[in-house]
Amino acid sequence: MTSAMRYSTPAIVLHWLVALLIFVAFPLGVYMHELPLSPGKLKLYSYHKWIGITLLMLVALRVTWRLTHTPPPLPADMAAWQRRASQAVHGLLYLLMIAIPLSGWLMSSAKGFPTVWFGVLPLPDLVEKNRELGDFLAGVHQALNFTLLALVIMHVGAALQHHFIERRPFLQRMGWNKKERT
């Protein structure tokens, strides 16, 4: 595979780092939600917020990189509907990777719980304390997360289908090989 068909190393690193953090944050959020109020639950919420704010910053870097660096082209013989679907899913993934941490931060602010990144950097409240707004934002945050889950499943499924069924080197585009990387 030529280097022109691969994502750049910074894009690959950001992709997998963001993916890893999402794969930690989502199940953590589901798990901690139903726990009874305790110091342990509050600690998990802090960890979840730390991951969310870190994701927001990494996604900002990712979007900046994507806007300033052209991704490798899709195969020329790929069906037009697949190209459009790929663009739509990627656009929605980026939108959700920004909207989800922001909705969590907004929810925390509205519920009166400060967001302190890694326990040392207090972040400003984005809205005034408002219980009804906090409850609404909790529902928004949850809905956005499950929408992200569905899109991630589509994204991974499409990559696997292209790679294993169509025999296109889609996984290598994102650094999934042991060959020399440029």
Instruction: Give CA–CA dist 23/51, Å, rounded.
Output: 11
**Residue 175: which pLDDT band, with cuts at 50, 70 and 90?**
confident
Tokens found for residue 89: 């899913």
Residue located via tokens 């519920």: 111
Distance of CA 125 to the CA centre of its chain: 22
* All domains in the chain, ordered by first residue: 3-173 (1.20.950.20)
Please give the model's pTM, rounded to 2 decimal places: 0.91
Instruction: Give CA–CA dist 110/79, Å, rounded.
Output: 45
Q: Determine the average pLDDT of the residues in 6-20.
A: 95
- The number of C-alpha atoms within 13 Å of 10 and in the hemisphere containing its C-beta is 12
Cβ distance 115 to 123 under 8 Å? yes
Cβ distance 141 to 107 under 8 Å? yes
- Summarised one tens digit per residue, pLDDT across range 71-116 is 999 888 899 999 999 999 999 999 999 999 999 999 999 999 999 9
**Residue 2: which pLDDT band, with cuts at 50, 70 and 90?**
low
Cβ distance 126 to 78 under 8 Å? no
Closest by CA to 6, choosing from 52, 65, 70, 51, is: 70
Instruction: Give CA–CA dist 14/148, Å, rounded.
Output: 18
Distance of CA 153 to the CA centre of its chain: 12
- Summarised one tens digit per residue, pLDDT across range 27-80 is 999 999 999 999 999 999 999 999 999 999 999 999 999 999 999 998 888 999
Tokens found for residue 55: 């994701």
Work out the angle at residue 78's Cα, subtended by the Cα atoms of residues 77 and 81, and round it to the nearest 5 degrees: 135
Q: Name the CA radius of gyration of the chain, rounded.
A: 19
Instruction: Give CA–CA dist 161/155, Å, rounded.
Output: 10
**Residue 172: which pLDDT band, with cuts at 50, 70 and 90?**
confident
